[in-house]
């Protein structure tokens, strides 16, 4: 049976939820302090394949780079290690042009190294998950089939708390797909989709 992108996303959500639950349970068994961090974020994608794609050399006519994204992260963290499930949506990952639209959805499960430094928590992470793109050429009626690939990400950032329950964060993430990516009948500049994402957000601690 061929797995659809929706089925893959559901399985990743279930696996991530189970992994976070196991992390919390194991930490409680070891009598370690565990916090749940929920963080809505906004950011921008850049570098690699983010932005207007070239087609036979020139860029799409009138295409403008517009790679804002929004997402949310839910994680369980202890005194040094943690686990995070992060999902984000970019409505114009390959730029914005008349008759052309593109979207991207990412869902990643990351392991965290996140020490305590006073009220600050610097962190590094790496993980894997789903990278799903969809491109539509509305001017010709030609639609690209959604392209769902497994991929990985890595990066780091900093969380700072202004109170016991409220904080802010910023991070930089690098994403790369594990398979070649083709959309709307042409291949993207690099055979494997890759890009950077810078994000900021608030952090709610439970």
CATH number of 5-205: 2.40.160.20
pLDDT of residue 57: 41
Longest distance between any two alpha carbons in the chain, whole Å: 61
Sequence ranges of the domains in the chain? 5-205
Of 67 and 143, the structure prediction assigns the larger pLDDT to 67
3-state DSSP assignment of residue 135: strand
Determine which helix (DSSP H) or strand (DSSP E) holds 27, and give its type and residue range. Answer: helix 5-29
pLDDT at 204 over 60: yes
pLDDT tens digits for 45-85? 988 878 887 654 444 567 777 788 999 999 999 889 899 99
pLDDT at 14 over 80: no
Summary mean pLDDT of the chain:
80
pLDDT at 15 over 90: no
Cα→Cα distances 11→3, 89, 156, 195, 199, Å:
10, 18, 26, 24, 25
Q: Can you tell me the mean pLDDT for 143-169?
A: 88
**β-bridge partners, 202:** 168
pLDDT at 136 over 90: no
pLDDT at 183 over 60: no
């Amino acid at each position: 049976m061929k797995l659809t992108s929706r089925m893959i996303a559901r399985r990743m959500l279930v696996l991530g939820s189970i992994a976070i639950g196991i992390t919390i349970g194991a930490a409680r068994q070891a009598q370690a302090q565990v916090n749940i961090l929920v963080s809505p974020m906004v950011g921008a994608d850049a570098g690699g394949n983010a932005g207007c794609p070239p087609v036979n050399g020139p860029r799409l006519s009138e295409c403008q780079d517009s790679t804002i994204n929004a997402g949310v992260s839910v994680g369980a963290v202890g005194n040094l290690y943690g686990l995070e499930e992060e999902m984000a949506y970019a409505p114009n990952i390959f730029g914005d042009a008349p008759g052309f639209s593109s979207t991207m959805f990412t869902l990643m499960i990351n392991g965290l190294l996140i020490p305590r430094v006073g009220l600050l928590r610097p962190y590094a992470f790496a993980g894997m998950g789903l990278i799903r793109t969809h491109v539509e050429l509305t001017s010709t009626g030609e639609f690209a089939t959604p392209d769902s690939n497994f991929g990985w990400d890595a990066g780091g950032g900093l969380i700072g708390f202004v109170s016991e329950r409220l904080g802010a964060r910023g991070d930089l993430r690098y994403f790369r797909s594990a398979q070649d990516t083709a959309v709307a009948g042409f291949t993207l500049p690099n055979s494997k989709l890759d890009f950077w994402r810078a994000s900021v957000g608030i952090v709610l601690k439970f």
